[in-house]
Amino acid sequence: MKTRAHGGRRRGMDRRTFLKTAGAAAASVGFPAIVRGAEEKRVVLYCPESPDLSSKIGKAFEAETGIAVNVQYGGTNVIVNRLLAERSNPNADVWYGGGGLLSFLYAKREGITTPYTPPEFKALPLREGKIHLRDKDWHFVGVEVFVIGFAYNPKTLPKKDAPKTWEDLLDPRWKGKIQMPNPAASGTATLTVLGRMMLEKQKGRAEKDAWDYFERLNKNVSLYPESGAAPTRAVAKGDALVGICFSFMPWGLAARGESVDFIMPDVTPVIANPVALVKGSQRPENGKKLYNFILGEKGQQILADYSQIVLNKKVKSKTPMTLEEVGKYAMDMDMDWAEQNYDRIRNEWRGRFG
């Protein structure tokens, strides 16, 4: 009896011990495992591009993979500053877009991005003509190509009367009739300013000459909105006659029935708009999948439908001009100089024009 009683107590204690142990295991192992499982079914994308476009990419990716995309928006400089602040504990897995590759060069220097060679684009050259397409160490790869030029509304400004060159913008007839994004917030405008600096250097002139240009242009600018897309929308509404912008902005609005078109200046910045993986990402494999999707046929088709000059050769562009055609207007850009002076020029702009 004693033996049976003793054995019973042991069996009872074993069961209780087992239940306690199982409970502890569920608390210490099972719950985090569930959380990790949830994390593996999502990916965080930082993106300054339009919410409508980014949302379409996210939904298409989720439909194909079952991985939910958390898209977080902000201006280019806002995104970069957030990535810097989160560097020791990144929230984002992928960063796509934002005024071209200059901000990505800066981010690479600051240790925000990590190298990755996407299978779809492994043969992508470093540059095509004067257009830089990717980072030499594969920290980022161009998704599409941006061209800086002028938006105008054919209803309020006949094409024959619209400005054709950057110098044309200085004509007093445009006083109070131009909008340009604010370089303190917009990647579009930062590239505009840096492009002018490099153009003056190539002509053997000084940086002061570029600042003189913007002092004169400032007399004709009515507003410096924070958003790169705002000047194009203002032109479409009739609130401005000319808007400094990327080509896809007026082309995209025109495709949706708006009265707006694009003029490409004779010499202008043409630059790739990249995607990059965030260094130290919590979901690196999901990040790679989204990265590859954006560069793949389905992702590139979404972008082509939004009037982007895409780089995937398997996808047909819907834009009025091809990569080869815009390359004829591209200025030669000193990317090392641009990356080294990105912050300095942007801060000087803020000091001069607010």
Do 255 and 212 contact (CB within 8 A), yes or no? Answer: no
Rounded CA-CA distance 348/354 in Å is 9
Q: What percent of the chain has pLDDT over 70?
A: 89
* pLDDT band at residue 106 using 50, 70 and 90 as cut-offs: confident
In this predicted structure, the answer to whether residue 224 has a pLDDT above a threshold of 60 is yes
In this predicted structure, the answer to whether residue 123 has a pLDDT above a threshold of 60 is yes
Kindly state the average pLDDT of the residues 187-197.
87
Q: What percent of the chain has pLDDT over 90?
A: 66
The pLDDT value given to residue 39: 56
Exposure pattern of 305-327 as b/e (b: 16+ CB <10 Å)? ebbbbbbbeebebbbebebeebb
Token pair recorded at residue 26: 């569920």
In this predicted structure, the answer to whether residue 4 has a pLDDT above a threshold of 70 is no
In this predicted structure, the answer to whether residue 5 has a pLDDT above a threshold of 70 is no
In this predicted structure, the answer to whether residue 97 has a pLDDT above a threshold of 80 is yes
CATH pick for 41-145+271-323 out of 3.40.50.20, 3.40.190.10, 3.40.50.670, 3.40.140.10: 3.40.190.10
* pLDDT band at residue 38 using 50, 70 and 90 as cut-offs: low
* pLDDT band at residue 135 using 50, 70 and 90 as cut-offs: very high
Q: How do the domains of the chain map onto residue ranges?
A: 41-145+271-323, 146-269+334-353
In this predicted structure, the answer to whether residue 15 has a pLDDT above a threshold of 60 is no
Token pair recorded at residue 6: 């003793």
Q: Which long-range contacts (CB under 8 A, 24 or more apart) does 68-73 make?
A: 68/41, 68/42, 68/43, 69/42, 69/43, 69/44, 69/45, 69/290, 70/42, 70/43, 70/44, 70/45, 71/45, 71/47, 72/44, 72/45, 72/46, 72/47, 73/47, 73/48
- Computed over every residue of the chain, the mean pLDDT equals 87
Strand partners of residue 178: 221, 242
Read off the pLDDT of residues 225-262 as tens digits, 9 standing for 90 and up. Answer: 988 889 999 999 999 999 999 999 999 999 999 999 99
Kindly report the number of other CB atoms within 10 A of residue 328's CB atom.
12
Read off the pLDDT of residues 291-303 as tens digits, 9 standing for 90 and up. Answer: 999 999 999 999 9
Rounded CA-CA distance 144/335 in Å is 18
- Are both 41-145+271-323 and 146-269+334-353 of the same fold? yes
In this predicted structure, the answer to whether residue 22 has a pLDDT above a threshold of 70 is no
Kindly state the average pLDDT of the residues 106-116.
94
Read off the pLDDT of residues 53-87 as tens digits, 9 standing for 90 and up. Answer: 999 999 999 999 999 999 998 878 789 999 999 99
The backbone torsions φ and ψ at residue 94, rounded to the nearest 5 degrees and listed phi first, read -135, 145
CATH number of 146-269+334-353: 3.40.190.10
